[in-house]
Amino acid sequence: MVPRKRADAQRNEKTLLDAAAAAFVASGVNVGVRDIAGRAGVGVGTIYRHFPTRADLVVAVYRHQIEACAEAGPELLAASESAHAALASWIDLFVDFLVTKHGLAGALQSDDATFQTLHGYFLERLLPVCAGLLEAATEAGEISADITALELMRGVGNLCIGADTDKSYDARRLVALLIAGLRVRPS
């Protein structure tokens, strides 16, 4: 069947994840591979063996947080007063995640082929959650319907770009404005 992985390989994978996480915090998700390799005390070849693309490494580092964000969607919908409030809360979670990850928002929207997989993973995991919340809010008549979950997530992701390096730019406020613009006007 599947032969168990060698012990040193398992160890190195964990070491690499830790090193990459530290490097991402220190220098952003675009940090050089030699930097990560140095932190982990391995050669660059070892990185590519475990994580063939940059996207694989990023996903591996942040998988838990992404999962947590995805699972929070239905929970918020069940616990919130209104669907719109649930949507707003969930977007808050998403924004919090993005702005604390140096350069991640930028990588997500990059048209670089290396990051297509990353973009794909985020969409696959989070888009259905966002779509569910959006649909609930639409059915409740709380927002105008002329936006797709994809556009909403792209817009929010875009607004988070650079929010970590420029303290005079508050992505949360702008995202809040966007969500406010979504809401149906009391006429």
| Segment lying near a second copy (by CB under 8 A), choices 17-25, 56-64, 70-78, 104-112 | 104-112
In three state form, how does the secondary structure of 27-72 look?
A: HCCCCCHHHHHHHHCCCHHHHHHHCCCHHHHHHHHHHHHHHHHHHH
Q: In 3D, which of 18, 105, 114, 9 has the Cα closest to residue 60?
A: 18
Question: Cβ(66)–Cβ(122) under 8 Å?
Answer: yes
Contact positions with a second copy (CB under 8 A) in 112-151: 146-148, 150-151
Q: By CB under 7 A, which span of 26-34, 64-72, 96-104, 152-160 interacts with DNA?
A: 26-34
8 A C-beta contact, residue 25 and residue 59: no
Q: Which is nearer to a second copy, 4 or 185 (CB)?
A: 185
Give min distance, CB of 117 to DNA, in A: 11
Considering only 100, 114, 116, 165, the residue that binds DNA (CB under 7 A) is 114
**Residues within the interface to DNA (CB under 7 A):** 3-9, 12, 30-34, 41-46, 48-50, 52-54, 114
